Chain A
Amino acid sequence: MAKRFGDTLAVADLSLRVERGSIFGFLGPNGAGKTTSVKMLLGLVRPSAGKGSVLGAPIGDRAARARIGYLPELFRYQEWLTGREVLAFHAALAGIARTERSKQVARALEIAGLSTRGNDRVAGYSKGMQQRLGLAAALLGEPELVFLDEPTSALDPVGRYDVRDLLRTLAARGTTVFLNSHLLTEVEQVCDRVAIVRAGRVVASGTPADIAGARLGVRVRASANGVPLQETLAAFGNVVVEDGGAFVGGVADDRVPDVVAALVAAGARVYAVSAVSQSLEDRFLEMMSAP
Chain B
Amino acid sequence: MGASLGRAALILALGVCVYGIGAALYGARTGRREWVDSGRRSVYALALVLTVCFAIIEIAFLRSDFSFDTVAGHSSTTTPTFYKAAAVWSSQEGSLLLWVWLLSLWSSAAIFITRNALRDVVPYATAVLLGFGAFFTGLLAFMATPFGTSSPAPVEGVGLNPLLRHPSMMIHPPMLYSGYTLFTIPFAFAVGALVVRRVDAEWIRAIRRFALAAWLFLGIGVLLGARWSYAELGWGGYWAWDPVENASLMPWLIGTAFIHSIMIQEKRGMLKIWNASLVLATGTLAILGTFLVRSGILQSIHAFGASTLGVPFVILIGLLVVGSIYLIVSRREVLRSEHHLDSLLSREAVFLLNNLVLVGLCFVIFWGTFFPLISEAVTGSKASVGPPWFDRYTVPLTLVLVLLSGIGPVIAWRRATAANARRNFRIPAVFGLVTLVVLVGVTGDDRKPWALGMFCCAAFVVGTVGQEFYRGIAARRALSGESPVTAAVSLVSRNRRRYGGYTVHLGMALLFVGVAASSAFQASRDVRLATGQGVDVGGYRYTYVRQTASVIDDPKRTGSILDLGAVVDVTRGGRHVTTLYPSRGYYPAPDASQGPVGSLIGGEATSHVGLKAGLRRDIWSAIEPDIQALQPLIDKGNRVVPAAHPDVALVVLEAIAQHYRDSAPPAQFRLIVSPMVTWIWLGGLIVLGGGLIAMWPPPGRRVRARYLARVGRDLKRAPTTTAV
Whether both chains belong to one complex is answered with: no
